[in-house]
Amino acid sequence: MQLRSLCGQKSYPGSWAIPTMKIDAASRLLPFSCEQVFDLAADVERYPEYMPGWISAKILKKEADVLYVEQVVGMGPVHVKFRSKAVLHRPRQIDVTSSEAPFRHYRLTWLLVPHPASSCALSLTIELELESLALQLVVNRVLPASVEGVIGAFQSRANSLYARGDD
């Protein structure tokens, strides 16, 4: 998997320049259908069982293809609680957004592209800008490795749920 991160700078009147973070994770090919991969990505309440850094995730409200979720993520002593909105575009894409504290801007996109032989290319893009400059600087340092961990954990979970053993 190829991982690219981009840091930009935004400044607001009366504030320090805040470095924004965008992480583009290139596709990882999974030997499962996009429907299976989508179901796994959309099952946010199970993330704490296998995703590194996810402490809790609870769906607060569900409307057709939209989930409103409260999550707690953390690394070491830093835990962040936030609410997000996930729009499910079955079976190709999930867009997760938030502009509530601690974020000025948060967008995570799961993109699923079908490939021959019932396989699926998975890519993950994250853009975030935090209200706290200090927290943003910490996140900018650890997020690229965290995304690698999330993709790896996701792939391991898919393998444990969907892989067929050779009989």
Predicted confidence (pLDDT) per residue in 43-76, tens digit: 999 999 999 889 999 999 999 999 999 999 887 7
Predicted confidence (pLDDT) per residue in 75-132, tens digit: 778 788 999 999 999 999 999 999 998 888 999 999 999 998 889 999 988 888 888 8
- Which amino acid is located at 62 in the chain? K
Positive or negative CA dihedral for 133, 152, 41, 91?
positive
Residue 147 has pLDDT above 70, yes or no: yes
Mean pLDDT of the chain: 83
Please tell me the distance from the alpha carbon of residue 106 to that of residue 136, in angstroms, as a whole number.
Answer: 12
Phi-psi domain of 7 (left: phi exceeds 0; alpha: psi -120 through 50; beta: other): beta
Residues 6+ apart with CB under 8 A from 102: 80, 82, 130, 131, 132, 135
Q: Where are the domains of the chain?
A: 19-52+88-140
Predicted confidence (pLDDT) per residue in 116-141, tens digit: 888 999 998 888 888 888 877 777 77
Cα–Cα nearest to 119, from 14, 8, 32, 12: 32
CATH superfamily entry for domain 19-52+88-140: START domain (3.30.530.20)
**Within a 10 A sphere around the Cβ of 154, how many other Cβ atoms?**
21
Pick 113 or 4 by higher pLDDT: 113
Residues 6+ apart with CB under 8 A from 77: none
